[in-house]
């Protein structure tokens, strides 16, 4: 029987950036715990991208690539919303004026068939077909 737990933003940042001595190794040890599923929630993914871009000052494309590569590398160890990331990452890269949060909201609307995503944000509605300005 598998055991489950959750991973927070800081663990993933240590894994991706390897910037605090000894902590990446602890994360790797945790990830390779037998018969354990480690969950990374959507909010943590958004927070990771925010930290990579705003604290580590990575360009958007580099931040997405580093996170995506880590998720792919540990696919058998980390469980995450692949449906969301496969839709939101490309949107986020294609629309540099939109936040990752806006891209996720549009993707949730699409995934759950709850379209349109109503908004007062004209910029969002102009860039994403899932969004519509509430007039």
User: Mean pLDDT, consecutive 10-residue segments, the chain of 135 residues?
Assistant: 90 97 96 93 98 98 98 93 97 96 96 96 93 94
Q: Give residue 8's domain range.
A: 1-80
Q: Could you tell me if 66 and 23 lie in one domain?
A: yes
pLDDT at 76: 86
Main-chain phi, psi angles of 133, to 5 degrees: -70, 135
Domain count within the chain: 2
Q: E strand or H helix at 118, and its extent?
A: strand 117-119
Q: Could you tell me if 98 and 40 lie in one domain?
A: no
Q: Could you tell me if 93 and 128 lie in one domain?
A: yes
pLDDT at 1: 64
Main-chain phi, psi angles of 118, to 5 degrees: -75, 145
Q: How many CB atoms lie within 10 A of CB 83?
A: 12
Q: Could you tell me if 61 and 42 lie in one domain?
A: yes
Q: Could you tell me if 87 and 70 lie in one domain?
A: no
Q: Which ranges constitute the DSSP H helices of the chain?
A: 9-17, 23-31, 42-54, 60-73, 82-94, 100-111, 122-127
């Amino acid at each position: 029987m598998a055991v489950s737990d959750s991973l927070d933003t800081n663990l993933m940042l240590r894994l991706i950036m390897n910037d605090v001595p000894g902590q990446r190794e602890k994360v790797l040890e945790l990830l390779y715990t037998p018969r354990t599923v480690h969950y990374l929630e959507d909010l943590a993914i958004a927070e990771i991208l925010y930290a990579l871009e705003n604290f580590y000052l990575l360009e958007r494309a580099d931040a997405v690539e580093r996170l995506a590569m880590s998720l792919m590398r540990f696919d058998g160890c980390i469980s995450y919303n692949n449906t969301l990331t496969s839709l939101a990452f490309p949107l986020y890269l294609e629309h540099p004026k939109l936040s990752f949060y806006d891209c996720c909201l549009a993707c949730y609307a699409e995934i759950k068939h709850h379209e349109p995503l109503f908004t007062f944000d004209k910029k969002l509605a102009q860039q994403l077909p899932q969004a519509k300005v509430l007039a």
